[in-house]
């Protein structure tokens, strides 16, 4: 038994790779002829790029995005030569040879970066691939319209660079009513006309749902692959991917009037049974969920009471019959009924932050993706098969 197996670990995170692949297929079906990439930066949003990316590759995905060069180099080892790997942060001065050696495609965000990459290609004696990013409204990364015009007017600047496509990133695609997306689309199309024939990519997960005008030649979903809702205020069409369960360490019976936890932020108003569960903010169970979080046991919802500690939370389990819940019982902290988006709402953040914050102390189990039970059963049932 390793440090990461239950019952040695405090909690278990199950990740359904078949659901990730189904989500990718659903998005691919929505974009018709466009390529559907997978964004696997930040360790596939906390779910484990070394498991997620090969599963997606086996499902037919050929284009992968990471943020950092280091993530790209590691992913190249995992995926082998067949995959196209794009590095969103591009290539920093001094790291060009590493990037070229890993056969990674940097996203270039300025004319200076284009020039540096051209120099690398010249030294390598071969054309090197790149993506060109234009800014359409984020003011974060990418070339301005005047830089783009200069590039279009002096094609020699791109000699030796094999430009795969141009891209930009949407500001608020998850809100279909926000006019910003339409403005960005118009800017993107205008910039695109300056370099006719170049492939293009604009949409993240949510952008895919803004309609075919946003699809171009390649879409770049991340969040929706991992089960997050792509469209705010609408039913989530994605399959749930994670189930997180924490072990009960102790059940305490307390009298009415007894305060619980650091700073005594909660006081029992009745005789209560408090279950202490082995997950805390060090595991990504955010401190802002103190007195706001919800967990469940055998489908019954229970409130998190008191503050979230580094390694534990306290749950009001008074409503659960005494004989059903004890030390070692597993409490559902995240499941299809209480998913990362729902947790995020209560913590005043977004599902992205919940996923990428998932801790490293969990016992992790991966379902599907060519290993373990397959099929369409609910992740809950399949995870239950793995309960020790």
Ligand X SMILES: *Cc1c(COP(=O)(O)O)cnc(C)c1O
Query: Can you tell me the distance from the alpha carbon of 79 to that of 98, in angstroms, rounded to the nearest whole number?
Result: 17
Nearer to ligand X, 19 or 325 (CB): 19
Q: How far is the CB of 216 from ligand X (least distance, A)?
A: 13
| Nearest CB to ligand X, comparing residues 311 and 353 | 353
Closer by beta carbon to ligand X, 284 or else 351: 351
**Residue 224 Cβ vs ligand X, minimum distance, rounded to whole Å:** 6
Judge whether 262 counts as a catalytic residue. Answer: yes
Reported as half-sphere exposure (CB side, CA atoms, 13 A), residue 8 has a value of 8
Q: In whole angstroms, what is the distance from residue 168 CA to residue 133 CA?
A: 6
Residue in 41, 45, 285, 366 annotated catalytic:
41
63 vs 74, which CB is nearer to ligand X?
Answer: 63
| Residue 142 CB coordination number (10 Å) | 23
Burial class (CB in 10 A: 0-12, 13-18, 19+), 267: middle
């965000």: which residue's tokens? 109
Query: Do β-strands 272-277 and 259-260 pair in parallel, antiparallel, or remain unpaired?
Result: unpaired
CA 210/CA 212 separation, integer angstroms:
7
Residues of this chain that interact with ligand X (CB under 6 A) are: 39, 41, 88, 169, 204-206, 220-224
Give me the residue whose beta carbon is nearest to ligand X. Answer: 222
Q: How far is the CB of 144 from ligand X (least distance, A)?
A: 17
Task: Find the shortest distance in angstroms from Cβ 221 to ligand X.
Answer: 5
Q: How far is the CB of 21 from ligand X (least distance, A)?
A: 16
- CA distances in angstroms from 243 to 54, 220, 298, 327, listed in the order given: 21, 25, 13, 20
Taking the C-alpha atoms of residue 38 and residue 221, their distance in angstroms, rounded to an integer, is 6
CB of 71 to ligand X, least distance (A): 12
Catalytic residue among 45, 214, 226, 262: 262
Spatial neighbors of 188 by CB under 8 A, at least 6 apart, are 134, 136, 168, 200, 202
Our CB check for ligand X shows the closer of 11 and 39 to be 39
Which of residues 206 and 247 has its CB atom nearest to ligand X in the complex? 206
The residues assigned a catalytic role are 41, 262
């Amino acid at each position: 038994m390793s440090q990461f197996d239950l019952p040695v670990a405090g909690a278990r995170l199950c990740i359904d790779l078949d659901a990730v692949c189904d989500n990718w297929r659903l998005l691919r079906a929505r974009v018709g002829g466009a390529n559907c990439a997978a964004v696997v930066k930040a360790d596939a949003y906390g779910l484990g790029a070394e498991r997620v990316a090969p599963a997606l590759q086996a499902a037919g995905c050929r284009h992968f995005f990471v943020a950092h060069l280091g993530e790209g180099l590691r992913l190249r080892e995992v995926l082998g030569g067949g995959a196209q790997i794009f590095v969103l942060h591009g290539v920093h001065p001094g790291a060009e040879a590493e990037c070229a050696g890993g056969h990674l495609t940097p996203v270039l965000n300025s004319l200076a970066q284009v020039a540096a990459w051209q120099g690398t290609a010249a030294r390598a004696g071969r054309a090197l691939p790149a993506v060109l990013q234009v800014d359409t409204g984020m003011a974060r990364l990418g070339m301005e319209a005047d830089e783009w015009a200069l590039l279009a007017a002096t094609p020699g600047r791109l000699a030796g660079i094999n430009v795969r496509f141009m891209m930009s990133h949407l500001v608020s695609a998850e809100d279909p009513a926000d006019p910003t997306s339409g403005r960005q689309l118009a800017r993107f199309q205008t910039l695109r006309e300056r370099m006719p024939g170049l492939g293009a990519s604009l949409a993240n997960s949510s952008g895919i749902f803004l309609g075919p005008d946003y699809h171009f030649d390649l879409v770049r979903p991340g969040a929706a692959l991992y089960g997050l809702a792509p469209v705010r205020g609408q039913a989530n069409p994605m399959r749930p991917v994670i189930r997180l369960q924490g072990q009960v360490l102790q059940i305490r019976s307390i009298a009415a009037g007894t305060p619980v936890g650091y700073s005594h932020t909660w006081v029992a108003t009745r005789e209560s049974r408090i279950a202490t569960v082995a997950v805390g903010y060090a595991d990504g169970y955010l401190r802002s969920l103190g007195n706001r979080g919800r967990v469940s046991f055998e489908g019954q919802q229970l409130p998190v009471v008191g503050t979230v500690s580094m390694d534990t939370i306290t749950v009001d389990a008074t409503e659960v019959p005494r004989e059903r819940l004890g030390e070692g019982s597993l409490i559902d902290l995240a499941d299809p009924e209480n998913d990362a988006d729902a947790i995020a709402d209560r913590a005043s953040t977004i599902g992205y932050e919940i996923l990428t914050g998932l801790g490293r102390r969990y016992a992790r189990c991966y379902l599907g993706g060519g290993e373990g039970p397959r099929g369409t059963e609910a992740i809950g049932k399949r995870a239950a098969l793995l309960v020790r």
